[in-house]
């Protein structure tokens, strides 16, 4: 494994290809997960930082006016800039924090001008196509059971036995951590029973009254420096993701992360996600929609969503050739809303951050702690 300096490596990483990702034709074709040649993102040095003040107000959505054409027209960052964006802060439950610089390796085998236009408070496109998920038989079963609520008001997704993927803005406003992050908790919907009943399959007269949240404290959080203003405040939503590590295992089935394929390879060109939209308190809300446009880092779509859904894991279901089975994977994180100037007229989108090969390598390392376990995206 060797480091390759300069813009050459970054261009190489951008062009990392999926083996056999050409779209086959025929009546029996199945949308198949591509096999990627992935880079490696490894910690190089770690230093301690002063404790944050936790004074930022929680924002349940972020907005940007830099749309697809704006992003596509932005010069590529250099290798050194990418290393800086993928470096990260870690916040611990005792309030201490560190900054870790990373290296990017290959195994030898637009952004941000404000349009000044007011944005809609509702992110609903025509008829509201969201579905509230009711009943323990759905809420407690996969994939809906992987959606969790953050105590700061956002949504997250279970991606490992002790890890939750969410949006960075749910815990950090780009300058400092939001109020409540030091005692951050993750909520799991569970049935609340009458008559002291404990289990849904008890033969007693216990009847579910409603669902309630059971909370688990967060042990530490990771936020990429690309999100933190002062380092990369001109790259919009590209790095709006964070990983939370719980203090104890959640004991639920989780959804693995995967590298985001091009939208044309997605089944029906469509994505799915579930979140805790704040206009339907206490309800888990599911939606799906077509991808309208994409850049290397972002997916643009018009899935109906409200604040509170930020941080939801965007997923698709595709065929896993090696295991000969269908599998859902998280390919992005729902971030927020954008007004975009399209041919001189304003158009609005909801935006998801794509899990690129580099982001996959980083997030997977945060989860596994061993790059050898992160070779398949």
Active site residues: 169, 234, 310
Q: Residue 54: CB partners within 8 Å, gap ≥ 6?
A: 176, 177, 178, 179, 180, 181, 182
DSSP class of 129: -
113: closest CA among 169, 76, 73?
Answer: 73
User: For residue 187, with 0-12 CB atoms within 10 Å meaning exposed, 13-18 middle and 19 or more buried, which class applies?
Assistant: middle
Q: Are strands 97-105 and 155-158 parallel, antiparallel or unpaired?
A: unpaired
Two structure tokens written together for 9: 């490596």
Measured distance CA(164)–CA(148) in Å, rounded: 8
Sign of the Cα pseudo-torsion (37, 73, 268, 279, in order) = positive
Residue pair 257/357 in contact (Cβ under 8 Å)? The answer is no
Residue pair 298/71 in contact (Cβ under 8 Å)? The answer is yes
Residue pair 304/287 in contact (Cβ under 8 Å)? The answer is yes
DSSP string, 174-199: SSSBBTTGGG-EEEEEEEEESTT---
Two structure tokens written together for 220: 């530490």
CA angle 318, 143, 332 (to 5 degrees): 60
């Amino acid at each position: 494994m060797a480091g390759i300096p300069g813009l050459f490596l970054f261009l190489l990483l951008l062009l990392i290809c999926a083996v056999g990702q050409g779209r086959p034709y025929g009546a029996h074709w199945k949308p198949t997960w591509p096999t990627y040649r992935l880079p490696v993102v490894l910690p190089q040095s770690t230093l301690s930082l002063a404790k944050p003040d936790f004074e930022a107000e929680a924002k349940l959505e972020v907005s940007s006016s830099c749309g697809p054409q704006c992003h596509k027209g932005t010069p590529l960052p250099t290798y050194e800039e990418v290393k800086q964006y993928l470096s990260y802060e870690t916040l611990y439950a005792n309030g201490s924090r560190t900054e870790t610089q990373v290296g990017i390796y290959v195994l030898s085998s637009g952004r941000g001008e404000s349009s000044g236009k007011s944005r809609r408070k509702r992110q609903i496109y025509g008829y509201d196509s969201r579905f509230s998920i009711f009943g323990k038989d759905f809420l407690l079963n996969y994939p809906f059971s992987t959606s969790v609520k953050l105590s700061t008001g956002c949504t997250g997704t279970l991606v490992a036995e002790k890890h939750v993927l969410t949006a960075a803005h749910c815990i950090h406003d780009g300058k400092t951590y939001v109020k409540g992050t030091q005692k951050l908790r993750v909520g799991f919907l569970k049935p609340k029973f009458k008559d002291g009943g404990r289990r849904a399959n008890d033969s007693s007269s216990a009847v579910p009254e409603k669902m309630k949240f059971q909370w688990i404290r967060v042990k530490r959080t990771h936020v990429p420096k690309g999100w933190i203003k002062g380092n990369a405040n001109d790259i919009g939503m590209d790095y709006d993701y964070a990983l939370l590590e719980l203090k104890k295992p959640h004991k639920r089935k989780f959804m693995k992360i995967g590298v985001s394929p091009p939208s044309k390879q997605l089944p029906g060109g469509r994505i799915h996600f579930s979140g805790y939209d704040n206009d339907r308190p206490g309800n888990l809300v599911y939606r799906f929609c077509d991808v309208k446009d994409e850049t290397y880092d972002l997916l643009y779509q018009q899935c109906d969503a409200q604040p509170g859904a930020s941080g939801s894991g965007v997923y698709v279901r595709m065929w896993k050739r090696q295991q000969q089975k269908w599998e859902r994977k998280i390919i992005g994180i729902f971030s927020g809303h954008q007004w975009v100037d399209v041919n001189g007229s304003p158009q609005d989108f909801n935006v998801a951050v794509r899990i690129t090969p580099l982001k996959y390598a980083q997030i997977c390392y945060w989860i596994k702690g061993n790059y050898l376990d992160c070779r398949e995206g």
